[in-house]
Amino acid sequence: MPGRSSSPWVALVVTPEQQAAAGRLLHDFNTEYDDPTPGAAALAARVAELVDAGSTDVLLAGTIGTTVTADTADTADTADTADTADTADTADTADTADTADTADTAGAHHGDAPAVAVAVLRYRPSLWSTAEECYLAELYVAPDRRGAGLGRALLRAALDRARERGCDYVDLATSEDDVAARHLYEAEGFRRTEGAGGPLTFHYELDLGPGASDPASC
C-alpha cells in the first residue's frame, strides 16, 4: 500500500512570522507541562528582542511529507518508538539531520508543512577561552510529531548553528524522569559527568524574582 514518509526542515528565526510561530510553540511547551507562561504573543515579542540583541538564536523545524510507493512502504517507517516518553523526540532513525532543509530564508512553514518544533540557543562569552559557550535553553517537539526523528534533526541543527557561531562548549539541563530526552542527548554525545569519566553533575536553580521565597528565612 502506498503511504507517507517525511523529511525534516529547519529554519533560523528571523522574520515576524517565524517569531510568532516560535512564541506559539514555546507557549505550548510550558502549557503541556503546567509551567507558567506569559502567552504566545509575549513570548514572540521576547524572542524578537533576544534575537535582535544577538545573544540568542531560535530554530524552527517541521517535516515535509513525501509519497511512499508500495515497494518502499514496508521499510519507510524505521523509527524506534519503543521509548517515546512525554517529552523530546527519541526516534533512532537514519541520519535525518544530513537531509534537513536548513535554509535561513524558510518561513514559519515549508509549503503546507507548519513549524512543529522549536529550539532556543543562548550564548555567553567563555571564561576559559576566547570563544563563546552555548546553552541549549529549550528543545520542544509537538506531541503528535514525536517519534519520527524530528527532535534529533533539530538538535543536530542546533549544534551545527553553535559551531558556526564559533562556540566551543554547549550545555543543557533536563529532568531525571524525562527518559526520552536523556536518551536523545546521550545518544548525541552529551554526558552527565564533569568531564569524560568524571563525577556525576547536578543542575541547581533558584528563583530570584518578585514573590520568590528567601532561602535565608527558611
Q: What is the pLDDT of residues 148-201, one digit of tens each?
A: 899 999 999 999 999 999 999 999 999 999 999 999 999 999 999 998 999 999
Distance CA 27, CA 29 (A): 5
- Is the pLDDT score of 94 beyond 60? no
Inter-residue contact 54 to 122 (CB < 8 Å): no
| pLDDT score recorded for residue 217 | 67
| pLDDT score recorded for residue 214 | 74
| Phi, psi (degrees; rounded to nearest 5) at 4 | -125, 140
Average pLDDT, the chain: 82
Inter-residue contact 126 to 168 (CB < 8 Å): yes
Rounded average pLDDT over 199-207: 93
Q: Who's near 73: CB < 8 A, 6+ residues apart?
A: 1, 2, 3
Phi-psi region of 80 (alpha: psi -120 to 50; beta: other; left: phi over 0): beta
What is the pTM (predicted TM-score) of this model? 0.79
Going from N- to C-terminal start, the domains of the chain cover: 3-193
Report the topology of domain 3-193: Aminopeptidase (3.40.630)
